[in-house]
Structure 1
Amino acid sequence: MQNIVILGAGAWGQALAHLATINGHQVHLWSRQNTTPLQDLLQNAQIILSAISMKGVREVASLVHSLQIPENTIFVTATKGLEPHTTYTPSQIWQNTFPNHFVVVLSGPNLSKEIENKLPAATVVASKNSVAAQQVQLVFSSQQFRVYTNPDPIGVELGGTLKNVMAIAAGVSDGLQLGTNAKAALVTRGLTEMVRIGNHLNAKTETFYGLSGLGDLLATCNSPLSRNYQVGYQLAQGKTLTEILTHLSGTAEGINTCQVLMEIAKQQNINIPITEQVYRLLAGEITPTEGLLELMLRDIKSEFDYLQEQIW
């Protein structure tokens, strides 16, 4: 039995808490509204799992760092996003804050509502330390939830992060009723764009063809349960971004991720046409139809050239 503290009591944190609890582990959920002092929860923690939104990661990591943490504690991050200005991933923030601890990334096609309804799902846990990844794998694996390990944490993390931008684009496609052909092309080229960005950031290509890349991309681009998909869909229906976010339950991380990706693309000269059009749409520079037209009128080229373009 493991003593687990989950930081973040939202839908995703609660879903993960349930999965660990049914396996007999002792689980404590913490949020800023929690009346129990965080130090009391952490003093015997063997695993600390972060399921908070991207904007709160650094603040909470600093808070945890100010407390006494056992030397053998494993940190797990289940957040999908990129930090503005630094462009760090959540695991990079946790690892920089706790350089002597193992950090594991948990990511996959995991819509929390479906997990809450006890529908079958699979995910990936990734770490540079295989023993730490295997320990987390055992905590969450069950008949309902199949967990795979992976030695490429940055790739697993980026797969879950980058697909959120593509989910906004997929929502636009469905909102405009462009059909199956258009959406298939969009998702396929979106995956290529994800691989290109990932390679620039030292992720392995093959990781993006697994659960945390292609798997998460398919789930998020095809489900109305996805907040990022809903943003794109409602933009295509004529709503403003302000209106959408006012009524959206939770955070659509793809909005912030899109902005950070544009910074990275400019710095490293990465060609990201889909992300660029999503960025311009979110900024109100173009309409959904105009964004589609610009993608369709790009220079024609060999598919092989496109797949290899700027991949290191």
Structure 2
Amino acid sequence: MQEATVAAILGAGAWGTTLAQLLRSNGLEVRQWSRRSETTLAATLAEADLWIMAVSMAGLASVADQVAALQLGDRAIWVSATKGLADLGWRTPSQVLSDRFPLQPITVLSGPNLSKEISQGLPAATVIASRDRHAAAVVQQAFASDRLRVYTNRDPLGTELGGALKNVIAIAVGVCDGLCLGANARSALVTRALAEILRVGAYFGARTETFFGLSGLGDLLATCTSPLSRNYQVGFRLAQGESLAAALTAIAATAEGVSTARVLAQLASREGLELPIAACVAELLDNRISPTTAIERLMARDLKAELV
């Protein structure tokens, strides 16, 4: 297997910077680009073995278009490290990339990976998902170390959905904790959220078992139980009476769950999917209901069997 020696990371936020740190510690040459970089996009990508997309979901399509316009060939392996859903067609990050780079192998990196913990050298595990076994193995080798255990799977769609949907649930759990509703309420919310995630996965055709792995349940637990989670912090701050704008300013970073919640609410409305948690989060973010009303609405839903 040919090993990667040069990696180009698009995005200089917390996650992109942490990925750069991991790769450099494994001996790779790492080039990092952002819109404020002095180095050009073309120079960053030239001759790199890995192209790592770590920009926000809102900027992904634009950056991908810029890369495609450069016509640099198809030898590099794409690594999607972005979590979210696009508004148009409910596309995942790797699907956006595959639309523009149909000849390049595309992999997805996702898991219970809080960037601050990883940057501190704390142990973690993640998943590299791809339908291309060779590409997954190359990326796995590039990132694996004694502090990061890297697994592979062949369900990039499910892997991405798990990483995107848990951000919405983290906002809801942040609200729950911000209102001091207790461990019972938090546990019930996370458990019912998993059922909601499985419904979305089934709709898109992802593998059910993926959502019980690192990129599903693992990422859900990490994001919903740590104050390091940006999405959790958004929910917590909303429950404390802050506006969404103030909460986002306070965390000074992108909280992908905000846009994803709105996409999911639109999906539920148009396709008839039962996604009550995502719908309540979307209404809360748009200031149509209060945090207390959101919780009351979830608790007042019609009685039903747990398993159907």
1:206 to 183, 186, 209: 209
Which residue does the alignment assign to 2:255?
252
For the pair 1:172 / 2:158, whether they are aligned, the reply is: no
Q: Decide whether the 8 Å contact of 2:32 with 2:44 is kept in 1.
A: no
Q: 1:71 and 1:89 mapped to 2: Cα distance?
A: 21
Pairing 1:297-308 to 2, within 5 Å after superposition:
297-305=300-308
Which residue does the alignment assign to 1:11?
14
Q: RMSD of aligned C-alpha atoms?
A: 1.0
Post-superposition offset of 1:36: 1.5
1:58 to 57, 61, 78: 61
**Unpaired segments ≥5 residues, structure 2:** none
Q: Decide whether the 8 Å contact of 2:22 with 2:143 is kept in 1.
A: yes
Q: Secondary structure at the match of 1:170?
A: helix
Pairing 1:128-143 to 2, within 5 Å after superposition:
128-143=131-146
Post-superposition offset of 1:28: 0.6
Post-superposition offset of 1:246: 2.5
Which residue does the alignment assign to 2:282?
279
Q: 1:85 and 1:97 mapped to 2: Cα distance?
A: 15
Post-superposition offset of 1:290: 1.1
Which residue does the alignment assign to 1:93?
96
Q: 1:297 and 1:262 mapped to 2: Cα distance?
A: 19
Which residue does the alignment assign to 2:147?
144
Q: Decide whether the 8 Å contact of 1:169 with 1:278 is kept in 2.
A: yes
Pairing 1:1-150 to 2, within 5 Å after superposition:
1-150=4-153
Q: Deviations over 1:131-184 (max 9, x none)?
A: 111110000000000100010000000000000000000000100101101100
Post-superposition offset of 1:190: 0.5
Q: 1:242 and 1:35 mapped to 2: Cα distance?
A: 30
Q: 1:61 and 1:252 mapped to 2: Cα distance?
A: 21
Q: 1:68 and 1:25 mapped to 2: Cα distance?
A: 24
Q: Deviations over 1:50-99 (max 9, x none)?
A: 00011110010001111132322111100001111332111111010000
What letter is aligned with 1:183? R
Q: Deviations over 1:179-201 (max 9, x none)?
A: 10110000000011001111101
Post-superposition offset of 1:130: 1.1
Post-superposition offset of 1:233: 0.4
Q: Deviations over 1:96-150 (max 9, x none)?
A: 0000111100000111000110000010010111111111000000000010001
Q: Decide whether the 8 Å contact of 1:235 with 1:288 is kept in 2.
A: yes
Q: Secondary structure at the match of 2:186?
A: helix
What letter is aligned with 2:190? V
Q: Decide whether the 8 Å contact of 1:45 with 1:70 is kept in 2.
A: no
Q: Decide whether the 8 Å contact of 1:105 with 1:157 is kept in 2.
A: yes
- Over the matched positions of the two proteins, sequence identity in percent amounts to 53
Which residue does the alignment assign to 2:192?
189
Post-superposition offset of 1:29: 0.8
What letter is aligned with 2:196? E
Q: 1:244 and 1:210 mapped to 2: Cα distance?
A: 31
Which residue does the alignment assign to 2:222?
219
Which residue does the alignment assign to 1:308?
none
Q: 2:202 and 2:190 mapped to 1: Cα distance?
A: 18
Q: Decide whether the 8 Å contact of 1:43 with 1:70 is kept in 2.
A: no
Moved more, 69-78 or 144-153: 69-78
Aligned length: 305
**TM-score if structure 2 supplies the norm length?**
0.97
**Are residues 43 and 68 of structure 1, via their aligned partners in 2, closer, same or farther at CA, if it must alter by over 3 Å?**
farther
Pairing 1:233-252 to 2, within 5 Å after superposition:
233-252=236-255
